Structure 1
Amino acid sequence: MLHNMSQTVGAWLRHPTVSKMFSFGVIGIGNAAIDFGIFSIAYQLLSVPLIPANVIAWLVAVSISYVMNTMITFRAESGRVLRRRDYLTFVASGTVGMVANTVTLLLLSYIMPVYAAKIGAIFTAFIVNFAMSHFVVFRTPPRA
C-alpha cells in the first residue's frame, strides 16, 4: 500500500507542470521570506507607509525570482539565459501578482494583523505569479 502510494506520488511529481509548480513554490518560499523581510524593515523600522513598503519589497523579490526561475524552474524554456526582454516581461506579468498581493494585503489588514495579512497576500500572489510565468513569460512556443 505504502509502496503504491509512493509510486503514485513520484509519478505525479514527475509531471512537468507539477514539477515546475513545485520548483516555483520552493523558490517562492525563499522569495516570500525576502519579500516579508524587506517589507518588515521598510514598514516597521523605517516607517515606510504600507503600500510603498509592499512595492519596494516586491521589486526586490521579483528580481531575485526572475533569476532563480530562469536558472532552475524554466531552464529548458529560457536556456538559462538572463534576457532584459524576459525580465521586463516577467516584471510586467508579476505586476498582476503584485496588484493581487497589495489588494489582498489591504483587504486583510482590516480584519487581521498586518503581518498575517502579508502572509495571505504572498500566498495569493504565488498563485497568480505561477499562472503568469507558466502561461505568459516562459511558455513553450507552439510547434509549427
Structure 2
Amino acid sequence: MQNLVHRLKVAWAERAIALKALSFAMIGVVNTAIDFSIFWTANQLLGWRLVPANVIAWVTAVSFSYAMNSFITFGPESGRVLRWRDYATFVASGVAGMVASTATLVALSYVLPVVAAKLISILVSFVVNFSLSHFVVFKSREQQRS
C-alpha cells in the first residue's frame, strides 16, 4: 500500500498525463453539472432552442473550468495564476469543444432523446477540450519558450 501511495505521489509530482486526465475529468463532473443545469433550465423551463441554450451553458461552464484547471490540473504549467490572456486562449480553444458538443447534440437529437444526446455531446467535448488544454493551452513553460 505504501508503494502505491508513493507511486501516486511521484506520478502526481511529475504530472503524468493519466492523472491530469483524471483531475480534468473530476473537475469536468462539476463542470458538467453546471453545463447541464443551465442547459436544462434554458431549454426546458425557459423554452430556449437547443443551440442558444447549449451556448449559454457552455460559456458559464467554461469560465468555471478555466479557473479550476488553472489552479489544480494544470497548476504547475499556469503558475496557479489566472490571466486574462490565458483565459482568452482557453476559451478560444474551448470553442472547438463547444462546436463538437453542439454538432453532436443536434445530430443525435434526431435519433435519441435530448437528454441522451446532451450527455453524449458532453463526452465528445471532454476529449476535444482535454486534448487542446494539455497540448495547446497549458503546455509547459519549457515548451512555450521553444
Q: Which residue of 1 aligns with 2:114?
A: 114
Q: Which residue of 2 aligns with 1:46?
A: 46
Is 1:61 matched up with 2:76?
no
Q: Which residue of 1 aligns with 2:31?
A: 31
What TM-score do you get using the length of structure 2 for normalisation?
0.88
| Residues 30-60 of structure 1, C-alpha deviations (whole Å, 9 max, x = no match) | 1011100000000001111110000000000
Distance in structure 2 (CA, Å) of the matches to 1:112 and 1:22: 28
What TM-score do you get using the length of structure 1 for normalisation?
0.90
Unaligned runs of 5+ in 2: none
Distance in structure 1 (CA, Å) of the matches to 2:48 and 2:56: 10
The AA in structure 1 aligned to 2:35 is D
Distance in structure 1 (CA, Å) of the matches to 2:128 and 2:30: 17
Unaligned runs of 5+ in 1: none
Q: Which residue of 1 aligns with 2:74?
A: 74
* Aligned pairs, number: 137
Deviation at 1:16, TM superposition (A): 1.1
Deviation at 1:128, TM superposition (A): 0.3
The AA in structure 1 aligned to 2:22 is F
Distance in structure 1 (CA, Å) of the matches to 2:49 and 2:19: 38
> RMSD value over aligned CA atoms?
1.7
